[in-house]
Amino acid sequence: MLHKTSLDKSKIRFLLLEGIHPSAQEVLRAAGYSQIEALPGALEGEALQRKIADAHFIGVRSRTQLTAEVLAHAHKLVAIGCFCIGTNQVDLQAARERGIAVFNAPYSNTRSVAELVLAEAILLLRGVPARNAAAHRGGWLKSADNAYEARGKTLGIIGYGAIGSQLSVLAEALGMQVVFHDVVGKLPLGNARQAAGLHALLAQSDIVSLHVPEVPSTQWMIGAAEIAAMKPGAILINASRGTVVEIDALAQALREGHLAGAAVDVFPVEPKSNKDEFTSPLRGLDNVILTPHIGGSTQEAQANIGLEVAEKLVKYSDNGTSITSVNFPEVALPAHPGKHRILHVHHNQPGVLSAINQVFAALHVNIAGQYLQTDDKLGYVVIDLDAQSSELALEKLSQVAGTIRCRVLF
Ligand SMILES: NC(=O)c1ccc[n+]([C@@H]2O[C@H](COP(=O)([O-])OP(=O)(O)OC[C@H]3O[C@@H](n4cnc5c(N)ncnc54)[C@H](O)[C@@H]3O)[C@@H](O)[C@H]2O)c1
Ligand SMILES: O=C(O)[C@H](O)COP(=O)(O)O
């Protein structure tokens, strides 16, 4: 795709879906972007295809599915902002192949999730959800049966990343013992201990909390066998992704009384909007806290995410910097005062770089700066040059075999 000249900011269109916090719009407007359409919900099907065809940047949260099929309609799209942690809703490979960089907010909502999970652990240990439900129906379950302090209990954390490790610190402050399981060796915080493996963690934990991403190795990682390996009367908390736990197996273990309770924030299938009905085999179980995927939904987290991701999009749009992109070679770029900047995204195949350099040699262009980053399949080269040469250079570069996308900034 070739833009003959740097696109005027007033023509660059941002589409923000799923009620992204207004802080994102403030950042975009302060940077000079005015064409911003913000919608409260997710889009899908033809409506999404139609809208994305017109957007240069799109912002989504966890609900909007940006599949290869949808991205095939995104002819103008330069970058995607996931205003959340998870990027599993985007086909990252398809985006790469189209030269579309994807950014997210890896830390901004982690504290919110850790706090919610800790609160749920305490409520479930005390049997509050069932007592609360009974009270709403006129019951009065005053008793110490199945009610325990958090102090001294073992919390098993699966996935000791940004959320899992924060939860670990908070839980230890309550006097809990923490064990964790991760596929990567992690530095234990405080007195936390790395378990010998998943089943070793399951066998010793009073509460098991999941904090893994949605990747092939985590799909249905907690099924009937893993639940059976948990201590009788244990508690399961899932605020990671709905595909991590086999929900029917969990419902059965709760009904049979093997597990004392559960808190679930994420589901294999989630309603598309707040107007749609939530269906789940867990509905109606009084010892289960069901929340509508709100682990990261606090004012603090959403405002910070809005700032963080919008700033990344602005930087990529204004200057080409791709640092922290989750699917793109990362290049940190200085300002380019007085120069034009060409951004060339290409397949990393033999001959591309020499062809690019030949273009400049043939045009006798003086290169003021050149930056390059490649991975196994993708290359991102940035060239700063004098204004009078940029249009012709852009045209020639766009014809180099292997070019995916080429644009100019000035
Ligand atoms: N409920 C919500 O609203 C909400 C909010 C934020 C994040 N999340 C989910 O929580 C996930 C975790 O967030 P994070 O910030 O802690 O991510 P992170 O990347 O910092 O940590 C994830 C950890 O899981 C580990 N891991 C990966 N595969 C594993 C496996 N098969 N077994 C054991 N460990 C494995 C990784 O090595 C890493 O340490 C996100 O990917 C997202 O899906 C949900
Ligand atoms: O990946 C995340 O950060 C969480 O799942 C939150 O998603 P949300 O922005 O849709 O609440």
Residues 369-394 have pLDDT tens digits of 999 999 999 999 999 999 998 999 99
- CATH assignment of 329-409? 3.30.70.260
The closest ligand to the CA of 270 turns out to be 2
Query: Under a CB-based contact definition with an 8 Å cutoff, are residues 373 and 330 in contact?
Result: yes
- pLDDT tens, position by position, 291-302: 999 999 999 999
Residue 59 Cβ inside 6 Å of ligand 2? The answer reads no
For 7-104+298-328, the fitting CATH number among 3.40.640.10, 3.40.50.2000, 3.30.360.10, 3.40.50.720 is 3.40.50.720
Task: Quickly state the pLDDT bin for 5 (edges 50, 70, 90).
Answer: low
Residue 206: C-alpha distances to residues 75, 180, 183, 302 (Å): 51, 13, 21, 32
Decide if 46 is catalytic.
no
Cα-to-chain-centroid distance, residue 21:
16
Task: Quickly state the pLDDT bin for 145 (edges 50, 70, 90).
Answer: very high
- Give the closest residue (by CA) to ligand 2 atom 10: 62
Decide if 283 is catalytic.
no
Query: Under a CB-based contact definition with an 8 Å cutoff, are residues 112 and 300 in contact?
Result: yes
Domain with CATH 3.40.50.720 in the chain: 7-104+298-328, 110-290
Domain with CATH 3.30.70.260 in the chain: 329-409
Nearest to 54 by CA among 26, 69, 35, 32: 35
> In ligand 2, which atom is closest to the CA atom of 294?
11
Q: Residue 333 pLDDT > 60, yes or no?
A: yes
- The ligand 1 site (C-beta within 6 Å) comprises 85-86, 109-110, 113, 158-164, 181-184, 211-215, 217-218, 239-241, 265-266, 293, 295-296
**Encoding tokens for residue 245?**
């736990």
Q: In sequence order, what are the residues at sequence separation of 6 or more whose Cβ sits closer than 8 angstroms to the Cβ of residue 124?
A: 207, 235, 237, 260, 261, 262, 263, 287, 289
The CA 243 to ligand 2 mean position distance, Å, reads: 14
d(CA 78, CA 270): 29
- pLDDT tens, position by position, 23-72: 999 999 999 999 999 999 999 999 999 999 999 999 999 999 999 999 99
The whole-number pLDDT of residue 208 equals 99
Residue 19 Cβ inside 6 Å of ligand 2? The answer reads no
CATH topology for 110-290 is Rossmann fold (3.40.50)
Nearest to 384 by CA among 332, 334, 324: 334
- pLDDT tens, position by position, 249-303: 999 999 999 999 999 999 999 998 899 999 999 999 999 999 999 999 999 999 9
DSSP secondary structure letters along 131-151:
HHHHHHTT------TT---ST
207-210 and 367-374 beta bridge pairing = unpaired
Cα-to-chain-centroid distance, residue 73:
22
DSSP-based three-state secondary structure for 325: coil
Question: What pTM does this model have?
Answer: 0.94
Partnered with residue 261 across adjacent β-strands are 235
DSSP-based three-state secondary structure for 237: strand
